[in-house]
Structures are given as C-alpha cells and as structure tokens.
C-alpha cells in the first residue's frame, strides 16, 4: 500500500475565496474554471425554495468534483471521508467549499430564502453517485 493510498481525501476539502470587485454600485464576484476552482466547469446548478427543515445531499460521488456556494442566506454542509467528519457553514457568496471525489456530504439548516449554487466538473450522471452510506464506508476503507 502506498503512502498516497493511506492519505485521507478529506485533506483536499477546503474553502475557496473568490475575487470581489466593489464600487458604489455594489459588489461583483467572478469565477474562472481551472483558475479559481481546480477544474474546468462543465455544469452549474442551484437549489432554491428550500424549506428550512430540508436535508439534502446524503451521498458521495465516485469522480465528480464540486465547489458549493451560498449565493444568498446560509446552510451547513457536513463532509465525511469515511474516517473523519467536518462541518462547514456557508454564508458568504465570495467563499465556496471545494469537495473532491469520494466525500460524503449532507446539507441542512437552510436559512429562509437560501440559494445554493454548485459548480461541477462533470455533467449529471446518476451512475457517479453513491447513495448508500454503508457502501460508501466500505469503499473508503484505507
Ligand atoms: C450534490 C449536492 C450539493 C438532475 O437531473 N441534474 C442535476 O444536475 C442534479 C444535480 C440533479 N438532478 C436530479 C437528480 C434527482 O432526481 O434532481 C433530483 C434531485 O437531486 P438530488 O437528490 O441528488 O439533490 P441533492 O440536493 O440532494 O444533491 C445535489 C447534487 O445531486 C449533488 O451532486 O453534491 O446537491
């Protein structure tokens, strides 16, 4: 077994800060694939009209990388690499959470009117999802 295969994928999960251009007209933030996020952006989707008691996520991706933003309001994301769990609160549209492959994620505690935008490295593919935690845990044994 190599040192690499022993290292935890959680090490790559991190907050990414985007540039902001502010003037009296307001703030402008931009994002370039391969520059501000570590992949070419092949899909964008967003969650809105989310009930405050909603729980979303509850899966991992085999290959997909994503950066998740709260464009408005706030919510919590709990990430889990099969060994360790970490919790992040997103509430700033300039700051996204990068989540690499093989990370279980759960999202909850949505504020009223929260809008979640996600930049993704691949088109939608249901075959890329692992939606059963026991199966995920089995595949992340180091
Ligand atoms: C993730 C979190 C943050 C599509 O048809 N195309 C899409 O691009 C997406 C994202 C979803 N769908 C369909 C699949 C399901 O029938 O929309 C339905 C709801 O998807 P899901 O239950 O996976 O939604 P969330 O909010 O639990 O998870 C989503 C993403 O699927 C997931 O990749 O990381 O947001």
pTM, 2 dp: 0.94
Pocket of ligand 1 contains residue 71 by CB under 6 Å: no
Give me the pLDDT at residue 142, please: 62
Q: What pLDDT, on a 0 to 100 scale, did the predictor assign at position 49?
A: 98
Q: Do the Cβ atoms of 25 and 81 come closer than 8 Å?
A: no
Per-residue pLDDT reduced to its tens digit, 12-54: 999 999 999 999 999 999 999 999 999 999 999 999 999 999 9
Q: Is the CB of 56 under 6 A from ligand 1?
A: yes
Q: Which of 14, 36, 56, 59 is catalytic?
A: 59
d(CA 72, CA 74): 7
Give the Cα-Cα-Cα angle 140, 90, 59 (nearest 5 degrees). Answer: 30
Domains and CATH numbers, the chain: 3-139 (2.60.120.10)
Which run of H or of E encompasses 136? helix 133-139
| Residue owning the nearest CA to atom 4 of ligand 1 | 124
Ligand 1 atom nearest to CA at 99: 34
Does ligand 1 lie within 6 Å of residue 124's CB atom?
yes
Active site residue 59: yes
CA angle 11, 94, 35 (to 5 degrees): 65
Query: pLDDT at residue 123 above 90?
Result: yes
- pLDDT score at 9: 78
């Amino acid at each position: 077994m190599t040192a690499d295969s022993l290292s935890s994928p959680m090490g790559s999960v991190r907050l990414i800060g985007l540039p902001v251009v502010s003037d009296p007209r307001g703030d402008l933030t931009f994002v370039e694939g391969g520059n501000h996020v570590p992949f070419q952006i092949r899909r964008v989707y967003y969650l809105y009209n989310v009930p405050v008691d909603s729980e979303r996520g509850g899966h991992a991706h085999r290959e997909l990388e994503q950066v998740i933003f709260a464009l408005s309001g706030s919510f919590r994301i709990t990430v889990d690499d099969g060994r360790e769990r970490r919790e992040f609160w997103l509430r700033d549209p300039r700051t996204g959470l990068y989540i690499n492959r093989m990370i279980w994620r759960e999202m909850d505690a949505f504020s009223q009117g929260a809008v979640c935008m996600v930049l993704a490295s691949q088109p939608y593919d249901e075959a890329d999802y692992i939606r059963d935690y026991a199966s995920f845990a089995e595949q992340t044994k180091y």
